[in-house]
Structure 1
Amino acid sequence: MKNIVGRLALVTSSLLICTQLWAEPKRPECLAPAKPGGGFDITCKLAQGGLHEAGLLEAPMRVTYMPGGIGAVAYNAVVAQRPDEPGTLTAWSSGSLLNLAQGKFGRYDEKAVRWLAAIGTDYGAVTVREDSPLEDFDDLIEALRKDPAAQVIGAGGTIGSQDWMQAAMVARAAGVNPKQLRYVAFEGGGEPMTALLGGHVQVVTSGIGEATAQLAAGKVRVLAVLSDERLPGDLASIPTAKEQGFDVTWPIARGFYVGPKVSDEDYDWWKQRFDTLLASEGFAKLREQRDLLPLSITGDELQAYVYKQVEQYKALADEFGLVR
C-alpha cells in the first residue's frame, strides 16, 4: 500500500512539473510599440528584468521594437497576425487607451485583445533644456499667452495622442486654443528628448520616466510634473502644475496585453506570474528605479479598468473636439 501511495505521489509530482514546463512559453517576447528609449521600452524592460530576477521565467525574454501609430501597428499585428502566440506580451499605456477611444487603431477596439496586467503608473511632465529661459511652469503659461506659436512643443504622437493631450491641457490652462500651438510629433518618447537637447524644440511633454535620465545628467529641467501631489524619492523636488496654480494632471498607467486567441491556460499562467511579481519587494524596488509608482491590476479587474478608462477618454476627446 505504501509503495502504491509513493508511486502515485511521484506520478502526480512528475505530471505537475511537466505541466509547469509545458505552460512556460518557449520564446517569451515583449513587443514595445515604438522605437527604443520611450515608455514602452521602459515597460518591457521592467518586465524583462523583474521576471528574470524573481525566477518566474526560465527562458530569457527578448524585447522587440514595433513602432508605428503609437501602438497601432503592434496592436493590429497581434490581433490579425499573432492572435494565439502564448509567449508574446505587448506593452500598453494610457496613451494606447486614448488612441483606442478615438478609433486610431483601425477596425479593432479595446475588446480585441486580452488585457493581462498593469504594473505601474507614470505621470506626465513638462520639460525644457537646462539653459531654457523658462524657469518655471508659470513662465511657460505666460509665454503661451503672449504668443502660442513661439514655443515649439515636441512630443511622442500626433494630434490626439496622450502627449498632445498634455500639451492641449497646458494650453487650456493658459486660455489658449490648442490648435494655435506649434506642435511637432515624434514616434515614441525617446526622439522628442533628443530633439530638445538639439535645440529643435523648446518644450517636451511626456511621461516623467522618459525625462529622468537627462534630468539626472543635468541636461534638462522639469517645469512641472502632472500629478496631484509631488512624487517621492529623487523626484520630490519637482513641483506639480497644481501647486503652481494650474489644474493639469495626467496619470499614465503601463502594462501588457496578449492576443485574443491566447488560451485560458496560457493567460492564467502569465497572470499568476504577474500576481507573484507585483507582490514582491524586489519588483517594487525595480519599479521605483524606473520612476514608476505602484499600480497592480491583473485579469478581469484590469479589463474592467481598461473599458472604463476608454469611455472616459472618449468624453475627453469630445471635449477637445477630436474626431472619432
Structure 2
Amino acid sequence: MFMKLTRASAFATVALLAGVGTASAEFKAESPQCIAPSNPGGGWDFICRTTAKYLFDLGVIEDSMQVTNMSGGGGGVAFAHVTKERNEDNNLIVAASMSTSARIAQGIYEGAVQDDVHFLATFGAEYGAIAVRADSPFQDLSDMMDAILEDPRSVGIAGGSSVGSFDHIKPMLVAQEAGMEDVTQLKYVSFDGGGEAMTGLLSGATEALSGDFSEMLGFLESGDIRIIGIMAPERLANYPDIPTAKELGYDVVGANWRGLYMPAGASDEAKEFWSNAIQTMVADPGFQETLEAAAIAPFNNFGDDMHNFVAGSIADVTKLSKEIGIID
C-alpha cells in the first residue's frame, strides 16, 4: 500500500473524537507494557515510547507503561512471543508499521496471518528516504543509482529491518525506475532497527541508508548525514532543501504507516479499552505536535477500518513483492 497512503485524503487533520473515553468500565490496565520489536532508536521504538508517554500524561493509564525492546527476525521474535506466549495478555500492546504487514504478506513471519494478532490502530504515516554520510561522494540519488547500475554490489544499503521489508523495497523500487532489470541484485544489509542501521552507515559498514525520514532527523540536523532523496510527492515544507526521488526522475512515492497491535486472545473489554485509549491519545494536540515534529503525518484507522486497511496492505504488498521478484 505504497501509493494509497500518500493520497491527500489519507492525511486529513485529526478531529476530536466525540464519545471516546479513556477507559472501558469493564477493564482497567494494570502494569501495561509496549513491545518495540527492534533495538532502541528506530521507528518501532518511537511508537512505543511516544505512546507510553502520552497515555500516562493524559491519565488514560494509571501505571506508567513499560517499554521493552525485543529485536530479531525483523519483528518476528516479538510477533512469535505475543502469539505463542502471551496470546491472552490484556495489558500488552506492540508497535507495528508497514513492515509488519509486509512480513505477513511475504511469509517472513512463518505461517502467520493477519488474525494471529488484533490490529488496533494506525495513527500516522511518514515518507521513506535514502541517506548517505556527510562526506559521501554521492551528491544526489542519481549519483548513487549510476554506481549501482554499473556494479550492484558496490553500494551497500543499510535498513533497519529484514530482507523484503519496506526498507528493502524502497531502494528496489528506485532501482527499478533507474532501469535495473534484476532488482534483487541490490546489496541490502539488514539490521535490527533503525538505530543499528544508522550506526552501520556512520561506521562505514554501508554506503547508504534506507529508512523513514523521522529516524534520520537528528543525524541530519547534526550534520552527520545528507538525505539524497525523499519518497514524497513534493518537497516537505519544513525541509525544502531535500529533493524528492520523483523530481530526480524516479517516480516512487512511499509512506510507512505507524500503529499498534495486541494479542488476539485478549478480552473484548481490553481490546475496547486500548482502542479508546489510542483514540484519546490521537485527539490530543500535544501528541499531534510530536508527530509533526517528527515529520509524521496524521493517518488514522480504528476498529473495522483498521482491520480492512491491514488486509488491503497485505494484499498490496503481496502483489508488489511478486512483481519485483521477492516472492513467487
TM-score (norm. length: structure 1): 0.90
- Secondary structure of the residue aligned to 2:53 is helix
Map of 2:327 onto structure 1:
323
1:76 correspondence with 2:80: yes
Question: Which residue is 1:222 aligned to?
Answer: 227
Q: Which residue is 1:10 aligned to?
A: none
The corresponding residue for 1:157 is 161
Q: Please state if 1:269 is matched with 2:267.
A: no
- The separation in 1 between residues aligned to 2:313 and 2:23, in whole angstroms, is 39
1:31 counterpart residue number: 35
Alignment match, 2:96: 92
Which residue of 1 is the match for residue 172 of structure 2?
168
Question: 1:247 matched to which residue of 2?
Answer: 251
Q: In 2, Cα distance between the equivalents of 1:232 and 1:94?
A: 24
Aligned residue number for residue 102 of structure 1: 106
List gaps (5 residues or longer) in structure 1: 1-16
In structure 2, the gaps of 5 or more residues are: 1-21
Q: Aligned partners of 1:129 and 1:42: how far apart in 2?
A: 23
Higher relative contact order (CA 8 A, sep 6+): 2
Q: Which has the larger radius of gyration?
A: 1
Task: Please give the residue correspondences for 1:49-64 in structure 2 after superposition, counting only pairs within 5 Å.
Answer: 49-64=53-68
CA distance in 2, matches of 1:203, 1:19: 46
Partners of 1:315 and 1:220 in 2: how far apart?
Answer: 34
1:313 to partner: Cα distance: 0.5
1:105 counterpart SS class: coil
Q: Deviations over 1:176-220 (max 9, x none)?
A: 222332222111111111111111111111111111111111100
**2:88 is matched by which residue type in structure 1?**
D
CA contact (8 A) 2:35 2:68 kept: yes
Aligned to 2:206: 201
Query: Does the 8 A contact of 1:100 with 1:110 survive in 2?
Result: yes
CA distance change for structure 1 residues 175 and 19 in 2, over 3 Å: closer, same or farther?
A: closer
| Residue in structure 1 matched with residue 184 of structure 2 by the alignment | 179
Q: Is the 8 A contact 1:141 1:173 kept in 2?
A: no
Residues 18 and 170 (structure 1), Cα distance of their counterparts in 2 relative to 1, 3 Å cut: closer
Residue 236 (structure 1) shift: 3.5
Count residues in correspondence: 307
Give the stretch that moved more between structures: 212-221 or 175-184: 175-184
SS at match of 1:149: helix
2:126 to 119, 122, 126: 122
Amino acid at match of 2:33: E
Letter in 1 for 2:283: A
Pick which of 137-146 and 190-199 moved more: 137-146
2:23, 2:147 → 1: CA distance? Answer: 64
**Alpha-carbon contact 1:144-1:174 (below 8 Å) kept:** no
Q: Which amino acid counterpart does residue 190 of structure 2 have in structure 1?
A: A
Greater CA deviation, 216-225 or 266-275?
266-275
Alpha-carbon distance between aligned partners in 1 of 2:293 and 2:50, rounded to the nearest angstrom: 10
Superimposed CA distance per residue, residues 275-298 of structure 1 (whole angstroms, 9 cap, x where no aligned partner): 122122111111122321111211
User: Within 2, Cα distance between the matches of 1:19 and 1:315?
Assistant: 39
| Alpha carbons 1:50, 1:286 under 8 Å: kept | no
Change (3 A) 1:236 1:23: farther
Deviations 1:10-69 (A, max 9, x none): xxxxxxx9974x622111110000111111101111111221222222210111011111
The Cα shift of 1:167 comes to 1.9
Partner of 2:313: 309
Question: In the TM superposition, what is the alpha-carbon distance from 1:266 to its structure 2 partner?
Answer: 1.0
C-alpha distance in 2, partners of 1:236/1:247? 19
Query: Among residues 144, 147, 151, which one is paired with 1:143 in the alignment?
Result: 147
Secondary structure, in 3 states, of the residue corresponding to 1:210? helix
Structure 1 runs of 4+ with >6 Å offset: none
CA distance in 2, matches of 1:198, 1:230: 29
